[in-house]
Amino acid sequence: MSGLAIHEARLLGRLHALGQIGRDGENRLTRLAASDTDRAGRDALVGWLREADLDVVVDRIGNIFGIWRTHANAAEAPLLLGSHIDTVIDAGIYDGCYGVLAGLEVIETLRAAGLTPVRPIAVAAFTNEEGVRYAPDMMGSLVHAGGLSVEEALASIGTDGTTLGAELERIGYAGVAEPGFLRPHAYVELHIEQGPVLEREGVPIGAVATLQGISWQRVVMEGTANHAGTTPMSMRRDAGYAAARVIAFVNEQARKAHDPSVATVGCIAFEPNAINVIPARATFTVDLRDPDEARLAAGEAALAIFLDEVAASEGVSVSVERLARFSPVAFDAGIVALIEQAAAGRGLAYQRMTSGAGHDAQMMARMAPAAMIFVPSLGGISHNPREHTPQADLVAGANVLLDVVACLADAKGDRHGYGS
């Protein structure tokens, strides 16, 4: 234990202040990556990083870093904390923002205590974690970790037809640093669970040991527009009905595979989208997730076979575009154990768990030992304005992060020394 405590009011105050940035006339919170509202959120964050006297660096993919280094430790690899501040549509205030602001809070707490860590400590807000406007998700951290070239990422076309690179320029967050410039000693991300496990178990701290694989695809089915009243059922090439069959199929497949396989069709558009016209085109997304790589791959293979069957039986054509594909990740056992020790040191119950959501830590694990700390989400609700975590849990999670950071930033020597 560090013997220190984070400044609760400062952390909660910033979390609520950031949660007011990007609200529309109906009070809905939306900060899609590289949008005007994202710019406003970024500006607030950068203001806080500067107030804390951190070096602020923005890289070419728009990732923002606040770095605390001293003359004595500048040559050491930094300990990196972070998450994201972009949101889904009509979001809650905690997803991502909690990890970024808690990272900043931990740095300020250590600094105010006069501690001089053996290595720099930095906090990152990664661009486009949500992947709502530009695919793939976790894009900023993926580029940072070398999994996608910055050129390819900047060329991504958004759901609104914009290009990420041009939008980052427009909002003033196309930085000059080369992604990957900061090679961390380790990466730790604090996040709300976004699922029901911790609340159900009555446990305040999750030590996240694994994160499930993610498969995102966009499917386009093309049939023929025709009159809804005059076209006999046997003569239809109905792209809408074909899509509905696929929606039912992926749902049933995941149910058959049992927990924890999940499948979602979250987006669908019909063309021409009229009450009395058979859909000529259906465009929809498929999100499959599974902690087991073989089962995830089997789900994808079954979908591919079913798409061919539907195409043949409904007389439609099918094209599939892969938007994202990430294998399950096992986090660093040493850091996971450290999180458990830190929770125990504060008298907090904890449990090991798998993350159902995607996170930047999943990408950072490619370049450094990484792990995550979860706190409960009431009702398991997230990606929804009703997302909520009690203040006591938010504070407890940030204090556990503080202790983990105090330990990792003081650890000298080989960067794998505490890991496995």
Please, what is the minimum distance in Å from the beta carbon of residue 191 to Mn ion? 6
65, 123 contact by CB (below 8 A):
yes
State the residues that interact with ligand GLV by CB under 6 A.
130, 137, 357-358
Q: Which is nearer to ligand GLV, 140 or 358 (CB)?
A: 358
Q: Which is nearer to ligand GLV, 117 or 356 (CB)?
A: 356
Nearest 5°: phi and psi at 401?
-60, -40
Q: How far apart, in whole angstroms, are the C-alpha atoms of residue 220 and residue 115?
A: 56
Residue 137: name its binding partner from ligand GLV, Mn ion, none (Cβ under 5 to 8 Å by kind).
Answer: ligand GLV
Cis omega before residue 136 (within 30°)? Answer: yes
137, 358 contact by CB (below 8 A):
yes
Residue 222: name its binding partner from Mn ion, ligand GLV, none (Cβ under 5 to 8 Å by kind).
Answer: none
- Give the CA diameter of the chain: 80
Q: With binding defined as CB under 5 A, does residue 199 bind Mn ion?
A: no
Helix count (H) and strand count (E) of the chain?
Answer: 12, 14
Nearest 5°: phi and psi at 122?
-130, 155
Please, what is the minimum distance in Å from the beta carbon of residue 37 to Mn ion? 16
Beta strands in 177-307 (DSSP E): 186-192, 205-211, 213-222, 262-264, 268-271, 281-290
Q: Which is nearer to ligand GLV, 84 or 415 (CB)?
A: 84
Q: Which is nearer to Mn ion, 110 or 394 (CB)?
A: 394
Q: With binding defined as CB under 5 A, does residue 193 bind Mn ion?
A: no
Q: Which is nearer to ligand GLV, 145 or 357 (CB)?
A: 357
Please, what is the minimum distance in Å from the beta carbon of residue 194 to Mn ion? 7
Q: With binding defined as CB under 5 A, does residue 131 bind Mn ion?
A: no
Q: Which is nearer to ligand GLV, 47 or 379 (CB)?
A: 379
What does the chain come to in residues? 420
Torsion sign, CA atoms 375, 91, 11, 102: positive
- 9: Cβ contacts below 8 Å, ≥ 6 apart: none
Torsion sign, CA atoms 334, 186, 144, 98: positive
Residue 82: name its binding partner from Mn ion, ligand GLV, none (Cβ under 5 to 8 Å by kind).
Answer: none
Q: In the structure encoding, which two tokens stand for residue 248, read together?
A: 């039912």
Please, what is the minimum distance in Å from the beta carbon of residue 97 to Mn ion? 9
Residue 199: name its binding partner from Mn ion, ligand GLV, none (Cβ under 5 to 8 Å by kind).
Answer: none
From 221, 190, 180, 391, select the one nearest 306 (Cα to Cα).
Answer: 221
Please, what is the minimum distance in Å from the beta carbon of residue 105 to ligand GLV? 22
Taking residues 82 to 101 in sequence order and writing x for each that binds Mn ion by CB under 5 A, - otherwise, the string is: -------------xx-----
Q: How far apart, in whole angstroms, are the C-alpha atoms of residue 342 and residue 199?
A: 20
Q: Which is nearer to Mn ion, 209 or 357 (CB)?
A: 357
Please, what is the minimum distance in Å from the beta carbon of residue 67 to ligand GLV? 26
Please, what is the minimum distance in Å from the beta carbon of residue 211 to Mn ion? 12
Site residues for Mn ion per CB under 5 A: 95-96
